[in-house]
């Protein structure tokens, strides 16, 4: 197992590598392999939802898992290299350094340097980055994923599910760490140790939730207006003409 401490310059190098990994625009590359600029179709977003609507469910799922992996892999690798993977009671400096690496791929995706610092909304990459901080953010991340699934199945809006999952993430982080940091035989943690060990994770959880919600502000306006696309909506394939309009066509009368 690597040393539990790393020099600052190593943490910085890991954060830069994580940012570079997060900046890989998988949605653009997948669409380009089909001769399509995904930014010119559907919503114009480079994420899995738009890829799925324009190119089909299989390529949308491929984009989702690749975007998730580019968050999880560099974060988990950094935790392993620093010897903190699997630890819960991290020193604040260790937690802050690891969390900086966790945020880096999300920023690389959202503010993509290869696309004029315009990218996706960061949901899949954020999920992957959360899962990489094992176990402190892995369990809350999986619980938030469960909320996403419930909301998506119930209302069939990807944006609503993403906003809801982001909103409850800090609550799950606080609850999980409260249980893990509580003294043996108790379910209530002591205030000082809780703030010391949980503070950095809660702060980043709140910031990440705020970023995801902020990136969905246009979706929130469409949700309120009733114009947001539901799951299953398929954008017209590129190059396909709309169906012809037949004037005075008979209408079905129920």
- Mean pLDDT, the chain, integer: 90
189 pLDDT band (50/70/90 cuts)? Answer: confident
What's the pLDDT at 232?
79
pLDDT at position 242 over 50? no
- Measuring CA to CA, which residue among 207, 233, 219, 236 is closest to residue 45? 219
CA distance readout (Å), 228 to 37, 44, 61, 225, 243: 22, 14, 21, 8, 22
User: Over the stretch 104-141, which tens digit does the pLDDT of each residue have?
Assistant: 999 999 999 999 999 999 999 999 999 999 999 999 99
234 pLDDT band (50/70/90 cuts)? Answer: confident
Give pTM, 2 decimals: 0.88
pLDDT at position 71 over 80? yes
CA distance readout (Å), 30 to 9, 13, 36, 47, 111: 34, 28, 9, 11, 19
Q: Evaluate whether 30 touches 59 at the Cβ level (below 8 Å).
A: yes
Instruction: Give dist(CA 77, CA 166) in Å, integer.
Output: 24
């Amino acid at each position: 197992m690597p040393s539990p401490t790393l020099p600052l310059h190593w943490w910085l190098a890991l954060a830069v590598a994580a940012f570079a990994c997060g900046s890989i625009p998988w949605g653009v590359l997948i669409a380009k392999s089909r001769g399509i600029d995904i930014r010119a179709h559907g919503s114009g977003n480079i994420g899995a939802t738009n890829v799925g609507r324009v190119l089909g469910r299989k390529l949308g799922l491929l984009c989702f898992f690749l975007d998730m992996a580019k968050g999880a892999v560099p974060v988990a690798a950094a935790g392993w290299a620093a010897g903190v993977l699997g630890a819960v009671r991290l020193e604040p400096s260790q937690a802050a350094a690891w969390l900086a690496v966790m945020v880096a791929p999300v920023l690389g995706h959202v503010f993509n340097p290869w696309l004029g610092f315009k990218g996706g909304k960061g949901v899949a990459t954020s999920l992957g980055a959360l899962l990489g901080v094992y176990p402190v953010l892995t369990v809350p991340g999986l619980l938030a994923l469960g909320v996403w699934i419930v909301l998506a199945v119930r209302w069939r809006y990807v944006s609503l599910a993403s906003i809801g999952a982001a909103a409850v993430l800090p609550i799950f982080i606080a609850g999980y760490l409260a249980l893990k940091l509580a003294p043996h035989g108790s379910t209530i943690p002591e205030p000082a140790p809780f703030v010391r060990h949980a503070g950095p994770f809660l702060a980043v959880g709140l910031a990440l939730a705020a970023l995801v919600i902020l990136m969905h502000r246009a979706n929130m306006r469409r949700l309120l207006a009733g114009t947001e696309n539901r799951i299953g909506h398929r954008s017209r394939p590129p190059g396909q003409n709309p169906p012809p309009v037949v004037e005075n066509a008979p209408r079905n009368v129920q």
